[in-house]
């Protein structure tokens, strides 16, 4: 199947995933460093805070146009079964809301739009993010269950060991990638919940810092060229 303009645009935008994960690592390392030294070295804490804020704003700029990714996923790869298609629509719709309103959040925080709308844009974006990630997690769990059943069948059939070994490695690799996806989505869900429904656990600096790093490093693993 040949790629059309939307396909090519999505591939082009996806090339920034690597730098996004790197800057996300900077953002949450800076958050943890700021928390660690804020009581003893306020000057250093202020510098780390500036690094965190700058990294967060840079990531929002990198994600310009990413709302098209969810649209293209529903258009090109809606899912093999009615259940997966339904879940994929919910997941990608949430992600589209997240990225779309994240653009306005970025513009309000840099002063292009009224800064007063930042809180509202942040809430809507975080709500879409958390909504979408719940269904992405469910989809990955369904596929992992299917892959585990396939592994069980392969190990009990009479195919040659070499052929079975290749299929087993492929299925195990897919399971690992989906587990990395679940890890990243759960971590991002915690960060989004801290915005939607603030609470002592989700909003604690250590919780946010570790969640951000888990998400970033899971993304490194999934996006690193093989």
- pLDDT one-digit tens code per residue, 77-96: 888 899 999 999 999 999 99
Q: Domain spans of the chain?
A: 5-223
Instruction: Give pLDDT tens digits for 52-68.
Output: 999 999 999 988 888 88
Helix/strand/coil for 39: coil
Distance between CA atoms of residues 66 and 15, nearest Å: 11
Q: What's the rounded Cα separation, in Å, for the pair 167 and 27? A: 39
| The residue count for the chain | 226
Rounded-to-10 torsion of CA 21, 224, 184, 169: 180
225 phi/psi in degrees, rounded to 5: -60, 140
Measured CA distances, 41 to 33, 145, 225 (Å) = 11, 49, 40
| pTM higher than the cut 0.95 | no
pLDDT of residue 166: 78
Neighbours of 172 (CB within 10 A): 12
CA 136 to each of CA 18, 55, 70, 122, 203: distance values in angstroms, whole numbers, following the listed order: 21, 26, 12, 21, 23
Q: What is the pLDDT of residues 128-182, one digit of tens each?
A: 999 999 999 999 999 999 999 998 888 777 767 767 777 888 899 899 999 999 9
Spatial separation of the C-alpha atoms in residues 102 and 57, rounded to whole Å = 10
CA distance linking residue 29 with residue 32, whole number of Å: 5
């Amino acid at each position: 199947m040949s790629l059309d303009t939307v396909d090519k645009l999505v591939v082009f935008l996806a090339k920034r995933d690597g730098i996004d994960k790197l800057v996300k690592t900077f953002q949450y390392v800076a958050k943890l460093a700021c928390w660690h030294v804020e009581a003893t070295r306020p000057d250093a804490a202020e510098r780390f805070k500036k690094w965190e804020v700058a990294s967060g704003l840079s990531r929002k700029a990198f994600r310009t146009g990413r709302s098209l990714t969810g649209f293209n996923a529903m258009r090109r790869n809606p899912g093999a079964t009615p259940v997966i298609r339904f879940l994929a629509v919910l997941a990608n719709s949430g992600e589209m809301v997240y990225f779309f309103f994240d653009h306005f959040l970025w513009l309000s925080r840099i002063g292009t739009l009224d800064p007063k709308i930042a809180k509202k844009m942040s809430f809507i974006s975080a709500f879409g993010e958390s909504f979408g990630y719940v269904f992405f997690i469910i989809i990955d769990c369904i596929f992992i269950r299917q892959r585990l059943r396939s592994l069980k069948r392969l190990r009990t059939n009479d195919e040659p060991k070499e052929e079975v070994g290749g299929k087993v490695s492929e299925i195990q690799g897919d399971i690992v990638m989906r587990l990395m996806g679940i890890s990243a989505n759960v971590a991002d869900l915690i960060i989004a919940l801290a915005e939607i429904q603030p609470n002592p656990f989700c909003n604690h600096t250590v919780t946010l810092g570790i969640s951000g790093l888990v998400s970033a490093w899971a993304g490194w693993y999934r996006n690193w060229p093989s």
